[in-house]
A and B are shown apart, each in its own frame.
Chain A
Amino acid sequence: MARKNSNLSKSIKSRQMWAYIFILPQAIVFLLLSLYPIVMSYVYSFYSWDGASPLTDFVGFENYTELFYSSRFWGALVSTIIYMFGTTILGVGASLVLAIILNANNMKGKAFYRTIYFIPVVATTAIIGVVMKNIFGVDGSVNQLIQSVGLTEKPIPWLNTSTLAMTLLIVVGTWKNLGINMIYWLSGLQSIPAELYESAQLDGAGFWKTLYHITLPLLKPILLVILLLSVVSGMNAFDLVKTLTNGNPYHTTETLDLYVFNYAFGGGMTGSTTRMGYASAAGVMLGMFTLLISGIFGLITMYYQKREKKEASR
């Protein structure tokens, strides 16, 4: 008996050892190639550094205080948050509708539609930005269409008015990622057991009733995942903003990631010196805000889950 036990514990030990070995490669790659650069970028944020000369000018929190007093930085934060909320709300809702339609058992051509609606996801974001910029330009296709139909006489300055440009960014950003959210929803829908629908049908529940009482409640866990991913990707909008509006008009659509880029590579002004240290500080702040928003978000869901559990136990 004792022998068997030691054999057992030996085999458990060996399993555990193997588990560590299995995790090791990932851990090495992560520590070396992800964590080290992140830590270094924290270090840079305490230097006044152009990214090219030696790292000698330690300035403490000076970069951070400068950020604190920069109205452009706070403006960029607001733009980022607007973009994040816009794409999240619009994207999560619209993709759910699409997924429900495409999940209907007797829908024909499901695979075809899925592919169509997924195409924007696979396209390179920077290219999308360039294409959309041309389509929505003052003399682009959209303006030509609405002018020829006679909707407006003068072209609509989609890209040159802050509200329109931000709206356009949100719409295009949503369009770009809708396909992936649709897939998440579909996977959630497919994990709902068919028996539930069958019994609902037997009970004589219609489409809307089934949707409200069965489908939506069961999709809650996947909703959480989708929301979280949308929030994180919305906070880090760069490629699209850079190519579609480049922060225009007058920095009103400049997101934090673009702000970081503009300072890191001096793209904002000709001949201006690059400010890697300052940009790193802005990058760290962006990370902090993402953490903060995800944290708030996590707390809210935890609160609701607790409340639900309480209600269920009553």
Chain B
Amino acid sequence: MIISSKLIKILIHMILIFIGLIWIFPFIWMILGSLKTNTEFMISGNPIPDGFNWENYSRAWIDANFSAYFLNTVIMTVATVIIVVFLCSLTGYALGRVDFPGKKTILGIVVGIMFIPKGYTIIPLYELVDQLGLTNSLFGIILAESSGAHTLFVLLFTSYFATLPKEMEEAAIMDGCGFVKTFFKVMLPLAKPIMATTVIMQFIWTWSSFLIPTVLTISKPELRTLAVGMQNFVGQYSTDWAGMAAGATISLLPVLIVFILMQRYFIEGVAGAVKQ
């Protein structure tokens, strides 16, 4: 589709920029807030700080232990993303390319799971991880974070793999590749767009995931993640708002970077899957 009139185009740009500014105002407000003193934060509605209190950042990074949390979060998120991509691409490949008895049932289950009524699941999840002996290590959190049915991702992979031409697979077999090798060497690399989609979405979710890491790190504060560490600023009766704003700014950046780097693949990925 083409928008032709020049005037309309300029108008649209102006509107987009104006709304865009309002759109990101809360973030500008947050970043400015991260430079206020805590008292200033609580008593003043003026978004512009009186002075630049960079020590909020050092307080977040050092005193509130964000440097360690940052590393934990990176490890947890990256590992979870890899596991999820791995699990979903395998399942998606099997469902998309192989006819086997029970395939329809499994597909039905994958979709149906989205609607299973869940009660309050965090306590049994904790018990389970505890019984596996994995509380108190990042691995337990990673495993718990990787749980879930991942309906959307599985379906994306399934429909994507289903559309790849048969000849590609046959050529690989001619070259002497087995089922597994074909998948890893030929087919999976073709699924980049879907992988990007999965990576971005899972990255966002895991990065800011709160309840699971909170509960699983109750006795191991050194394993906490950024989202959980944010709570260090919130006491039961007092809150370090400025420090929290600084912490929030720190934790926003990586996700933003991942999105900017991968957004091209991301849209393609969803588009590729929707075509079918």
Partner of A16, one of B98, B270, B274: B98
Q: Is the CB of B88 within 8 A of A26?
A: yes
Task: Judge if B7 is at the interface, Cβ distance under 8 Å.
Answer: no
User: Which residues of A from 35 to 91 have beta carbons under 8 Å from B?
Assistant: 36-38, 40-42, 44-45, 51
Shortest C-beta distance, A125 to chain B (Å), equals: 7
> Is A250 engaged at the interface, CB distance under 8 Å to the other chain?
no
Contacts of A37 in B (CB 8 A): 118, 121-125, 128
Quick check: A45 and B119 within 8 Å, CB to CB? yes
- Contact between chains at B263 and A279 (CB < 8 Å): no
A229 smallest CB distance to B (angstroms):
8
Q: Are A191 and B275 interface neighbours, CB within 8 A?
A: yes
Q: Which residues of A contact B271 (CB under 8 A)?
A: 186-188, 190-191
Chain A residues within an 8 Å CB radius of B210:
124, 126, 239
**B117 near A: Cβ within 8 Å?**
yes
- Is B49 an interface position by the 8 A CB rule? no
Taking each of B1, B99, B100, B113, which has the highest tally of chain A beta carbons within 10 Å of its own beta carbon? B1
B69 at the interface (CB under 8 A from A): no
Given A132-B26, A191-B271, A118:B259 Cβ within 8 A: yes
**Whole-angstrom distance between the Cβ of B206 and the nearest chain A Cβ:** 12
Q: Which of chain B's residues 209-254 have a Cβ closer than 8 Å to chain A?
A: 210, 227, 230, 241, 244-245, 248, 251-252
- B contact residues, total (Cβ < 8 Å): 89
Interface residues of B in 80-129 (CB under 8 A from A): 86-88, 90-91, 93-95, 98-101, 103, 106, 113-125, 127-128
* Measured CA separation A126–B148 after assembly (Å): 22
Chain A residues 258-292 with CB under 8 Å of chain B are 260, 264, 276, 279-281, 283-288, 290-291
Query: Would you call A23 and B91 a contact (CB within 8 A)?
Result: yes
Pick out which of these stretches binds chain B: A2-10, A96-104, A158-166, A300-308. Answer: A96-104
Task: Judge whether B2 is part of the interface by a CB distance below 8 angstroms.
Answer: yes
Contacts of A276 in B (CB 8 A): 120, 123
A109 CA to B41 CA, complexed, in Å = 35
Contact A106 B120 (CB under 8 A): no
Q: Determine if A25 and B1 form an interchain contact, defined as CB atoms under 8 angstroms apart.
A: no
Contact at A186–B267, with CB atoms within 8 Å?
yes
Nearest-neighbor residue (CB-CB) of B100 within chain A: A16
Question: What is the distance, in angstroms, from A145's C-beta to the closest C-beta of chain B?
Answer: 9
Q: How far is the CB of B3 from chain A (nearest CB, A)?
A: 5
The B interface is mostly helix, strand or loop, or mixed, namely helix
Q: With a CB–CB cut-off of 8 A, which chain A residues contact B46?
A: 141, 144
How many A residues touch the partner, as a band? 35 or more
Please tell me if the beta carbons of A222 and B119 are within 8 angstroms of each other in the complex.
Answer: no
How far is A124 from B90 in the complex, measured between Cα atoms in Å? 30
Chain B positions 146-169 with a Cβ under 8 Å from a chain A Cβ: 146-150, 152, 154
A114 near B: Cβ within 8 Å? yes
Q: Which residue in B207, B260, B267 is a CB contact (below 8 Å) of A187?
A: B267
Distance (Å) between the CB of A164 and the closest chain B CB?
17
Residues of chain A contacted by B27 (CB below 8 angstroms):
119, 123
Residue A111 CB within 8 A of the other chain: yes
- Shortest CB-to-CB span from B85 to chain A, Å, is 12
Q: Contact between A101 and B12 (Cβ–Cβ < 8 Å)?
A: yes
In the complex, per-residue mask of A234-249: 1 if CB is within 8 Å of any chain B CB, else 0? 0000010000000000
Most buried by A among B46, B117, B148: B117
B119 & A280 in contact (Cβ 8 Å cutoff)? yes
- Known pairs A23-B94, A122-B204. 18 more at Cβ < 8 A? A18-B98, A19-B103, A25-B86, A29-B87, A30-B149, A37-B124, A38-B118, A119-B24, A122-B259, A123-B255, A124-B207, A127-B248, A141-B45, A183-B270, A187-B272, A190-B268, A283-B118, A290-B115
The 9 closest A-B pairs by CB, nearest first: A287-B117, A41-B119, A33-B147, A187-B271, A40-B124, A187-B270, A37-B121, A283-B119, A124-B208
A-B contact pairs, 29 of them (CB 8 A): A16-B98, A19-B95, A23-B90, A25-B90, A29-B143, A30-B149, A33-B147, A34-B149, A36-B124, A38-B117, A40-B121, A41-B119, A104-B1, A104-B2, A106-B9, A107-B3, A115-B259, A119-B256, A122-B259, A131-B30, A131-B245, A135-B25, A144-B46, A183-B270, A191-B272, A210-B1, A229-B152, A284-B118, A290-B117
Which B residues fall within an 8 A CB radius of A? 1-3, 9, 12-13, 16, 20, 23-27, 29-30, 33, 41, 45-47, 86-88, 90-91, 93-95, 98-101, 103, 106, 113-125, 127-128, 143-144, 146-150, 152, 154, 179-180, 183, 204, 207-208, 210, 227, 230, 241, 244-245, 248, 251-252, 255-256, 259-260, 263-264, 266-275
Mark A residues whose CB is within 8 Å of B: 14-16, 18-20, 22-23, 25-26, 29-30, 32-34, 36-38, 40-42, 44-45, 51, 100-101, 103-109, 111, 113-128, 130-132, 134-135, 137, 139-141, 143-144, 175, 183-184, 186-188, 190-191, 197, 201, 207, 210-211, 215, 221-222, 225, 229, 232, 239, 260, 264, 276, 279-281, 283-288, 290-291, 294-295
